[in-house]
Structure 1
Amino acid sequence: MTPVSVEKAKQIWQDTLQNITIGTEYIRPDAASGRILSKNIHAAYAYPPYRKSPFDGYALRYADGTAKYRVLATIGAGETYDNAVAPGEAVRLMTGCALPDDCDTIVMQEQTTRDGDVIVLHGTVRKGDYIIPVGEECDKGTRLFTAGTHLTGGAISAAVGMGNEELSVYKMPRAVLVTSGQELVMPGAKRSKGQIYNSNAYLFTSLLREYGFTQVTHMHVTDKAETLRTETERIGAALKNADILISTGGVSVGLFDTMPQIYEALGARKLYDRITMRPGSAAFGGVIEQDGRTIPVLGLSGNPAAAFNAFHLIALPVLRRLQGETVTDLPVLACTMVGGVNKDNPVDRFVQGMISFSDGRPFFTPNTVATSSSLLGLAHTNGLAIIQKGTPPCRDGETADVLLLKFI
C-alpha cells in the first residue's frame, strides 16, 4: 500500500467516520464539563426573565418635575414588591432585584440623599433610566448553542441559567490502549539487560485523560509468536466494550512486529500502513466492523516521540470526531524560531519543542534531541512546528507555524 501524507490520512478518517458517532446520552450539567453537545440548546425563557436593576438604588414611579419620593419598602435579590407604587413613590432595591410592576425608572443610590422614608434626587433623572429589560440577552426559544459545541464552564452556566436541567451529549469514546514488545516491563518488575520500562503505557493513558478521554483500558502484548493467539483473543474481548483501538509499537517491518497480524485476526480493514512524516512514519490505520459498530484502529510507532506526534496529528482528531466534535484539528500559532531546525525536509516534519512568550510575542524552541525515540523532551513539549515537505531548513529568527498542544 502506498504511504499517505498526514493530510491524506486525516481525509481518509474524515471520509470513513462521516456521520459515525458512538451514541448520545442525557446528563446533568454538573457532569457536562468537557463533553460535546449532540442536540441544540435553546432558552427555556427570555433572559433576564424580569426587568431588573443593574446596581443598588431606587425604583421609581417617575413623576415629571418631582425631586422628592417616599420610600415604601426595601427588597433584596430574590424578593419582590407586589403592592402598588404611585407617582412620587419609590422602592429601595439591591443589584439584580426585580422592579415592581408600577416602577418605570431606576436611580443610583449615589444620586440620592435620604431623610427617613424620603429621598431627594440629585442631577439629571430621565424616565426609563437604567432598567435592564426582559430578554436583553435573548428571547424564549433562542438557540444558545448548536450540536457539536464543546461544553465549557461558561456554556454550561448559560445553559443552566436559561432553564436547561439536562443536556444531550455524545457518549465518551471508550479506548483500548495496547502497548507491544517483549523489551518492555512495567515499573516494579525486574528489568533485565536489553529491556526498558513501559513509558508508553503512561504517556498515552495520561494524554488520553488530559484531553478528556477518561475511559481507557490498557493491556500489553509481547510480540512472541507463541502468545499471539491468546493475546489477540484478549484484545478482541476488550473491544466488545470499547469504541477505538490505539496501539504503540509493532507496526513497522521488523521480524517481531506482530501488530498487523493481530489487526488482521481481529478483522480490521486496512486504510493505510505508513505516513510520510518525520518522526512518526510507522503507522497503521484501519477499521473493524463489529456488531453493527465501526471501531477505528490506529497503530502508532513504539518510539515515544514518533508516537506522540502521530497521536496528536491523527489519533486525537479521530477521537474528537467520534465524540461529535466538528472542529478536530489543533490550533496553529505563528512563532519565531529560537535556534532553528537545520535539516532538509524530504517529507513533512513535525518538530517537538516549547512555545514561550516574551513581550507578548510567541517563540518556539525545538527540543535538543529530536530523534523518534527521544523521551525526556516530551516533559516540556507544548507545540509541534510544521516544516513542510520540500521547504529549506527553518533558521533561527525565522517564522514557523506551530501546532498548539493542550498544555501551553
Structure 2
Amino acid sequence: MADDRGVSHGTGTPDLTAVTDHQAKVAALLPPTPVLVAPLADCLGHALAEDLTSPIPLPPFDNSAMDGYAVRSVDLAGATSEQPVKLPVHEDIPAGRVDVPPLQPGTAHRIMTGAQVPPGADAVIPVERTDRGTEQVLAFASVQPGQHVRRAGEDVTAGETVLTAGTTLSASQLGVAAAVGAGQLPVHRPVRVLVLSTGSELVEPGATLEPGQIYESNGLMLAAAVREAGGEATLLRFVPDDVDAFHRALAPHLESTDLLITSGGVSAGAYEVVKDALTGTGVEFTKVAMQPGMPQGCGRYRDQVAVVTLPGNPVSAMVSFEIFVRPALRAAAGHLATQRPTRRATLTESLTAPADRRQYRRGQYDPATGSVSLQGAPGSHLLAGLAKANCLLEIPEQVTELAAGSTVDVMLLD
C-alpha cells in the first residue's frame, strides 16, 4: 500500500517487540553509576556530576594582550611615525611578576603578554609600534583607553557556572576547569562492561585460518564501541560453544562488571550457547521488529549483572549496540548527551525495506548538500559497508519503499 507521497507501508506484525520497548528494557537495567572525585588528568571523557562554579574571575586581573609598553593613553595623544612620543621606561613587567609598581604619569613600563597591567596604566602599545627601547621608548602611534588590555572577569565572573552537571569532559572543558582553579572534579564512574566473545569457530586475527574458521572481530569491535561511548571495557575472547565453559569464563568477572555484552548464540538454531547458558538465569530473549538485529536478549544474570545479548552477524551486533546499548551506557554514566546527533537528509537513490520492521541502512551523509547515499547492501554480514559509513538511515516500520529524493532520518556516527 502506498500513500500520496509515493511511500509504501506495511501492515504490522504483533509477535515482534517494538524497538522502543526493547530500548526501555535495556535502559532500565543500568542504574546511575557512583560518583567519584578524580584529578583533572583522569576526568577526560567522564560526565561531570555537579555544576562547577568559578571562585575567581577570568582573567583574574587586568593583563596585557600584547608584548609592548603599559602606558596612560593621554600620554601618547597625537603620536605618529613622523612625530613620535618619547617616554622613559621605568620597569619591566614579565608574566608572573606579582610586585607590579604603579605607573607614574609621563612614563612607560615594558610589559609582556599576560602580565598584570600596572595601576595607573589604561592601555598597552604593541612593541611593533615602538622603537623597542629599554630605558626610553619612542611610540609611533596613539592608543585608546583599554586598548590591548584584557579586563578582569571579561571571560568569567566570580560565582559564574562554567560547566553544568552532565557535561562530557573534553579537552576544552578540562581547560576551563583548570583555569578557574579546580584541581579535581566529581564525575560519574564509567560503566564497567565485560564483552564476552563465544564461538569455537573463532580465531585470533593474524593466525592461520583452517577450513570452517573465521577471524574474531565482534569482541574487539564491541569493546572499542564501549570505550568510544565512555565505558570501561574488558574483552573476554574465544569462549568455546559449551554451556559449562560459558559459566566458568563468566564467574571471575561478576563482582567487577556492571554489564555483560555478548554477541551471537541467540538465534533459534542448534548450538546457540549464549541462549542455552542464560535461559533460566534472569535473561529473556525476544525478536525485535528491526533489520538488522532481530534476535535480542536482556536481563540480569542471577540477580547480579546486567546482560545484553546481541546478534552474531557483525553489522547486526554493531547496529544493535548503537540503538540499545550506547544510549543506556551514557545515561547510566551521567552524560546529558546520550543520543547520536540526527539529521534530515535527502535520499540519493531508491530503497526497499521489509514490512513491519524498522530498518537501519548504512549511509554516507554529505553535510554540504544535506543528502545521504547508501553504503553497501542491507545484509547483516556486510561489514565493509559499515566501515565506510558515517551514518545510519532509519526507515520506519511501516515504510517498505522510498524513492530517490525522499527525506529520511539519519543518525550520525562520526
The answer, yes or no, to whether TM exceeds 0.5 is yes
Residue 116 and residue 199 in structure 1: after superposition, are their counterparts in 2 closer, same or farther (change >3 A)?
closer
**Which residues in structure 2 correspond to 1:220-239 (within 5 Å)?**
220-223=238-241, 227-239=242-254
Per the alignment, residue 7 of structure 1 pairs with 20
Give the Cα separation in 1 of the matches to 2:188 and 2:158. Answer: 25
Task: Give the residue type in structure 2 aligned to 1:159.
Answer: A
- Residue 411 of structure 2 aligns with which residue? 403
Q: What is the aligned partner in structure 1 of residue 158 from structure 2?
A: 140
Alpha-carbon offset, residue 127 of structure 1 = 3.8
2:312 is aligned with 1:302: yes
With 8-17 and 277-286 compared, the bigger mean Cα shift is at 8-17
Rate the CA distance shift 1:76–1:158 in 2: closer, same or farther, 3 A.
Answer: same
Q: In 2, distance between residues paired with 1:64 and 1:181?
A: 82
Alignment of 1:51-130 (within 5 A): 51-61=62-72, 63=74, 68-80=86-98, 82-112=100-130, 117-119=135-137, 121=139, 125-130=143-148
Query: Do the aligned residues in 2 keep the contact of 1:69 with 1:89 (CA within 8 Å)?
Result: yes
AA aligned to 1:340 is: S
Q: CA deviation at 1:320?
A: 1.4
Q: Does residue 260 of structure 2 align to residue 245 of structure 1?
A: yes
- 1:255: which partner in 2? 270
Residue 136 of structure 1 and its aligned partner are, at CA, apart by: 1.2
**Deviations 1:296-341, CA, capped at 9 Å, x for gaps:** 2111111111111101111111221222212211111233333332
Counterpart of 1:274 in structure 2: which amino acid?
K
- Cα deviations by residue, 1:199-221 (Å, 9 ceiling, x for unpaired): 32232233333444343131444
Q: Which moved more, 1:127-136 or 1:185-194?
A: 185-194
Report if aligned partners of 2:353, 2:359 keep a CA contact under 8 Å in 1.
Answer: no
Please say if 1:329 is aligned against 2:339.
yes
State how far apart, in whole Å, the 2-side matches of 1:192 and 1:65 are: 84
Structure 2 CA distance for aligned equivalents of residues 315 and 42 of structure 1: 32
1:197–1:141 CA distance, 2 compared to 1 (3 A)? same
* Gap change, CA 1:71 and 1:81, over 3 Å in 2: farther
Distance 1:198 1:44, change over 3 A: same
Corresponding residue for residue 288 of structure 2: 275
Instruction: Work out which of the residue numbers 356, 371, 375 in structure 2 matches 1:367.
Output: 375
Q: Which amino acid aligns with 2:413?
A: L
Match runs of 1:143-158 below 5 Å: 143-158=161-176
C-alpha contact (below 8 Å) 2:358/2:395 kept by paired residues = yes
Report the Cα offset of residue 395 of structure 1: 2.8
Which letter maps to 1:395? Answer: A
Residues 156-175 of structure 1 mapped to structure 2, 5 A cutoff: 156-175=174-193
- 1:340 aligned residue (350, 355, 379): 350
Q: Contact conserved, 2:32 with 2:331, CA < 8 A, in 1?
A: yes
Q: Give % identity.
A: 27
- Runs of 5+ consecutive residues of structure 1 not aligned to the other structure: none
Q: TM-score, normalised by structure 1?
A: 0.85
Instruction: Find 1:216's aligned residue among 234, 237, 241.
Output: 234
RMSD over aligned Cα atoms: 2.9
Report the Cα distance in structure 1 between the residues aligned to 2:222 and 2:216, rounded to whole angstroms: 11
Letter in 1 for 2:219: A
Q: 1:312 aligns with which of 322, 333, 343?
A: 322
C-alpha separation in 1, matches of 2:213 and 2:161: 57
* Counterpart residue identity of residue 166, structure 1: Q
Q: Is the 8 A contact 2:195 2:233 kept in 1?
A: no
Q: CA deviation at 1:276?
A: 0.9
Shift of 1:48: 0.7
Q: Which residue does the alignment assign to 1:27?
A: 38
Seen in structure 2, the aligned counterparts of structure 1 residues 382 and 64 have a Cα distance that, compared at 3 Å, is closer
- Does the aligned pair in 2 maintain the 1:354–1:364 contact within 8 Å? yes
Residue 152 of structure 1 and its aligned partner are, at CA, apart by: 0.9
Deviating more after overlay: 3-12 vs 62-71: 62-71
Query: Match for 2:347: what amino acid?
Result: M
Cα offset for 1:102?
A: 3.0
Whether the 8 Å CA contact 1:80–1:99 is kept in 2: the answer is: no
Counterparts of 1:283 and 1:115, CA distance in 2: 76
**Contact 1:304/1:373 (CA < 8 Å) preserved in 2?**
yes
Change (3 A) 1:115 1:343: closer
Count matched residues. 394
8 Å Cα contact 2:100-2:118 kept in structure 1: yes
Q: Match for 2:287: what amino acid?
A: R
Aligned to 1:38: 49
